[in-house]
Structure 1
Amino acid sequence: MAINDQRDVHTLVTRLAEECEKAGLTATVLSPTRVHVSAGAHSRLTETIRCHPGADEELMWWWSWGEPICPAASIDLAIRHIAHVVAPQGGDR
């Protein structure tokens, strides 16, 4: 069953922020559908992640540039992708 209730979206966004923090990222819930993520206070790389339905009405995590990340239920996978973007390994980019 797809999660489509606004309260469920807010719960997912809150969980994403909490799990990002546990993974060592800095995350702030901006709205019931958006979370801002960075690698820390002095990081130059940040991203605002949104949660909204895809074409098939399944809730998805989305990048700010409009590309899907993964299904919203896959929070661990989302964090891996987000961390790769905001905290890339190998020095400054």
Structure 2
Amino acid sequence: MSAFAKWLAQACQEAGMRAEQYGAKVRIIASSHFLTEEVECRSDSDGDLRWWWSWGKPIAAGNDSARILTPDEVDDLVDAIARVVAVPIRRRP
């Protein structure tokens, strides 16, 4: 699980996000420093490894919310995480 976390942290960094690995967890900090998310690689009830949001839900594919992502689907994971932490900040007029 730590190897998957390291892989994900590196992929997030390559995508321009600040990511720190803590064992099987990865903390992703948006460039604006307003949004931070921590995801964790752990088994689901069937014993399959999955990535989990900090609020306890498994991470699903952005284009198919019924498809839960596996730890191997790093590109899709980075996209899903970026949608959460890289929300553009609205500027006041």
Q: TM-score range by the shorter chain?
A: 0.7 to 0.9
Structure with the larger helix share: 1
Q: How many aligned residue pairs are there? A: 82
Deviation at 1:10, TM superposition (A): 0.7
Matches within 5 A, 1:52-91: 52-69=42-59, 70-89=69-88, 91=89
Q: Kindly provide the CA deviation profile for residues 25-77 of structure 1, in whole angstroms up to 9, marking residues without a partner as x.
A: 000012x111100222x421000110001122111110000000021111111
Residue in 1 that maps onto 2:41:
51
Can you give the 5+ residue segments of structure 1 that lack an aligned partner in the other structure? 1-8
Which sections of structure 2, spanning at least 5 residues, go unmatched? Answer: 60-68
Alpha-carbon RMSD across the aligned residues, in angstroms, is 1.5
Q: In structure 2, give the amino acid aligned to 1:80.
A: D
- Relative to the length of structure 1, the TM-score reads 0.81
- Runs of 4+ residues over 2 Å off in structure 1: none
Q: TM-score, normalised by structure 2?
A: 0.81
Is the aligned partner of 1:39 residue 2:30?
yes
